[in-house]
Amino acid sequence: MATLKEVAKLAGVNISTASRALNDSPSISAATKVRVRQAAEELGYRPNLSARALSGKGTGAIALVVSDIMSPVWNILAGGACDAASAASVPALLYCAETDADYLDRVLPEMISTGAAGAVLGLHLSEEAQRKTEASGLPAVLAECFPLAGLPAVYSSRYDAAREAAAYLQQKGAKTVVLVTVPGFDMAYNKGCADALKDTGARLRVLTGPNTYQAGFALGYSLADELYGPTGIVAVCDGQALGVQHALQNRGVRVPQDCAILSLEDSVLATATYPGLTTMSKPLYRIGAKAAEKLLLKIKGQPVESECLRHTLTVRKSTL
């Protein structure tokens, strides 16, 4: 790789002039800039980011941490953040951290050591983890994680999604709404459903199980025996939703006629099934992208605010 020194030599200027020309400093004559740029072009010059980092500017690299890149949900968020980073031509470092402890003990120190300019935090972080991140001084913005400390976040409202989903099903005729969720998950889902059904005469049931297709299937199988009258299911994850759906269909329950199903995710699973799964889709790609954009602003010292992005209802065939 050509270095700045060689570029400067070819352009016949001092290395510091070359540096300024390439960084578009206002105190450099247009003629010089042109000359230096041509030289850089000719040599295929690419700045060494490590050197740049060391001399003050930082590599500009941002870290992207998600709980699991292999999940068909977090990978979308990562995709949005990655695209935003590449649009701004800053490198993106990928980290996976499944637990708070792993994040705090391993990932956070590693990010700092690597010289990341900031981090997009696309995973569920406790208040303590959020506080410690802020205390570390590393600029960070949360992605699809509710802000509990001072860090800004880009996220979608689970409460709203659940409330609108339950309301939608109730309006379509459901007398019973079943919320299928995961033990330990955000209670905002429960509250949203409950609020939507208040004073409607429809009742709410809550079923919990692991976030998997198999668990949903088991839940659906037993649910089939207890279905009386028009029912709507709000599932917190696509996998669960499909498991429930297939078990019900297997037991002779017609979807959506006897029982409608709506998921609060919107992964590949939602479209690759028949009948297609209706979803209140989280804008994960945009959340990832926006979080990265805000991070870049924050790194530049600009103030950034938290932002709640709207989900959108995508009606497919699992609801009326």
Please report, as ranges, the residues that interact with a second copy according to CB under 8 A.
1, 44, 46-51, 53-54, 59, 61, 64, 68-72, 75-76, 78-79, 82-83, 86, 89, 91-96, 106, 109-110, 112-115, 213-214, 217, 238-239, 242-243, 246, 249-250, 267-269, 271-274, 285
Identify the residue among 27, 89, 257, 302 touching DNA (CB under 7 A). Answer: 27
Parallel/antiparallel/unpaired status of strands 176-181 and 231-235 = parallel
Yes or no: say if 139 and 295 are a contact pair by the CB < 8 Å rule: yes
Q: Which does 19 bind (CB under 5 to 8 A by kind): a second copy, DNA, none?
A: DNA
Q: Which does 274 bind (CB under 5 to 8 A by kind): a second copy, DNA, none?
A: a second copy
For position 72 contacting DNA by CB under 7 A, the verdict is no
Q: CA angle at residue 175 from 171 to 181, to 5 degrees?
A: 90
Q: Between residues 222 and 250, which has the closer beta carbon with respect to a second copy?
A: 250
Taking the C-alpha atoms of 97, 103, 107 and 112 in order, what is their torsion angle to the nearest 10 degrees? 140
Of the ranges 13-21, 96-104, 159-167, 213-221, which one interacts with DNA (CB under 7 A)? 13-21
Interface positions, 29-48, toward DNA (CB under 7 A): 29-32, 45, 47-48
Residue with tokens 């292999």: 70
Q: Which does 93 bind (CB under 5 to 8 A by kind): DNA, a second copy, none?
A: a second copy
Q: Which does 13 bind (CB under 5 to 8 A by kind): a second copy, DNA, none?
A: DNA
Asked whether the CA dihedral 63, 69, 73, 78 is positive or negative, the reply is: positive
Q: How far is CA 116 from the centre of its chain?
A: 19
Q: Between residues 5 and 106, which has the closer beta carbon with respect to DNA?
A: 5
For position 168 contacting DNA by CB under 7 A, the verdict is no
CA distances from 154 to 104, 129, 291, 308 (A): 21, 17, 6, 6
Residue with tokens 């089939």: 224
CA distances from 174 to 236, 271, 308 (A): 18, 24, 29
Q: Which does 146 bind (CB under 5 to 8 A by kind): DNA, a second copy, none?
A: none
